[in-house]
């Protein structure tokens, strides 16, 4: 059995410490004064807010930005974003409660929430119907029947958007998740039959479509072409199937650039999106998650030991994939910085690695607990902090919290 490790970072060097904002360095040094080793996330809500405002300003009035809560569900981050996004995308009762509490609306007004997920349970669907959310993205005919039955019992009609797995996507760029067998959505050839059934169900108000076929796209031109295609497909399909189209959800998919990659051009995307003709009364929803919050978070873990084994140097952390699984799960080089810490118990040896390549590993009893391989450091010592920037999305939420039963990483908002 092969073990999945992150790709080698060679010949990269670790980030200089000044890549960490002063406020982050100050907060982390405060945390080192506690009697337990540091293993924590630090978030800056203002960073996420700035990204959300930049995207919102670039888009036409017919576009709505719904933050995908799964990317970072820390309540402080969600509350910070709430005034600067049009709503939220949720996939569970917990996320729904977080969203409606962060952005409440008057009675009788749809909750600014769209809901996704391929296996929504009856309790989840019931909560969504009772919250009268903006749209439930329905994944199948059975789910539509369940939603209708719940809505009839509640005495309301639930707004639903049919999630579609398109047969083809005639655009280029980093686009996928469409045209292949998938648990997500209804295959395009089956859409007319499902819509005929949906129109007959008494508890449903079919408002449009959800097409999430893009992922981590850094090409603004390609993403604008994808948006145009989603709009044109939805308009045509609504006419052909007697749907009163009011809602087109194109999902998320705007990418985050790592080292050596060109960032997504928000201004260019907004300029091209504005040229798309969207009929009055139709709302086009974007569901950015990682794009809004990736750079608002830092994961920091204390170095518990520095050791050599057969010519390789290992930096061992109080943490690991039980706190920050992203590098192994996404098969990426996720670089880090070393934050020096002066304090060290008198009389204890303090192992150190200088001007060499190291592999950064965690506290779990498996060699898969490897966060970064073969990165060059100027100096790292036991007691210093290793800090991973760009850890604001799919960090704490994506980790193996229960494995071995170690304490979960703390979370702090600046």
Write down all domains in the chain, each with its CATH number in brackets.
17-44+295-413 (2.40.37.10), 46-293 (3.20.20.10)
Span 30-40, average pLDDT: 95
pLDDT (average), residues 298-310: 98
- In the predicted model, what is the mean pLDDT of residues 172-186? 70
The answer to whether 234 touches 184, Cβ cutoff 8 Å, is no
Q: What is the pLDDT of residue 107?
A: 82
Determine the pLDDT at residue 258: 81
**pTM for the predicted model, two decimal places:** 0.94
Which residue reads 């150190």 in tokens? 352
Mean pLDDT of 111-119: 94
Burial class, 181, CB count within 10 angstroms (exposed 0-12 / middle 13-18 / buried 19+): exposed
For residue 177, what pLDDT is reported?
Answer: 57
160, pLDDT greater than 90: yes
pLDDT tier, 213 (very low <50, low <70, confident <90, very high otherwise): confident
- Among 9-23, 172-186, 211-225, 302-316, the minimum mean pLDDT is found in 172-186
């Amino acid at each position: 059995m092969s073990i999945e490790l992150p790709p080698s970072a060679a010949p990269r060097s670790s980030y200089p410490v000044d890549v960490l904002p002063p406020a982050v360095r100050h907060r982390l040094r405060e945390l080192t004064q506690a009697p337990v080793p540091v293993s924590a996330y630090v978030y800056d809500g203002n960073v996420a807010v700035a990204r959300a405002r930049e995207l919102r300003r670039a888009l036409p009035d017919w576009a709505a930005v719904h933050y995908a809560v799964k990317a970072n569900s820390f309540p402080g981050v969600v509350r910070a974003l709430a005034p600067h996004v049009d709503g939220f995308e949720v996939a569970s009762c917990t996320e729904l409660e977080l969203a409606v509490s962060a952005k409440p609306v008057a009675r009788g007004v749809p909750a600014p929430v769209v809901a996704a997920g391929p296996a929504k349970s009856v309790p989840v669907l019931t909560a969504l119907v009772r919250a009268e959310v903006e749209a439930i993205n329905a994944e199948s005919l059975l789910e539509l029947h369940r939603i209708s039955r719940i809505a009839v019992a509640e005495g309301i009609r639930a707004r639903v958007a049919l999630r579609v797995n398109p047969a083809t996507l005639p655009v280029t760029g980093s686009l996928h998740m469409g045209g292949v067998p998938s648990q997500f959505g209804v295959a395009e050839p089956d859409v007319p039959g499902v819509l005929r059934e949906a129109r007959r169900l008494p508890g449903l108000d079919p408002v449009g479509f959800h097409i999430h076929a893009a992922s981590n796209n850094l090409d603004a031109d390609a993403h604008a072409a994808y948006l145009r295609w989603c709009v044109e497909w939805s308009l045509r399909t609504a006419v052909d199937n007697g749907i009163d189209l009011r809602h087109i959800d194109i999902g998320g998919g705007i990418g985050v650039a790592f080292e050596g990659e060109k960032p997504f051009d928000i201004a260019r995307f907004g300029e091209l999106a504005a040229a798309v003709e969207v009929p009055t009364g139709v709302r086009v929803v974007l569901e950015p998650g990682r794009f809004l919050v990736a750079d608002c978070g830092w994961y920091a873990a204390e170095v518990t030991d520095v050791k050599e084994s057969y010519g390789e140097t290992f930096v061992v952390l109080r943490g690991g994939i039980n706190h920050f699984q992203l590098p192994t799960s996404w098969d990426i080089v996720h670089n880090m910085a070393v934050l020096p810490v002066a304090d060290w118990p008198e009389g204890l040896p303090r192992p150190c690695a200088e001007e060499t390549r190291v592999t950064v590993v965690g506290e779990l009893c498996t060699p898969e607990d490897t966060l970064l391989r073969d990165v060059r450091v100027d100096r790292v010592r036991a007691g210093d902090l290793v800090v991973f920037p760009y850890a604001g999305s799919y960090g704490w939420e994506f980790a193996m919290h229960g494995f071995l039963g170690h304490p979960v990483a703390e979370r702090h908002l600046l």
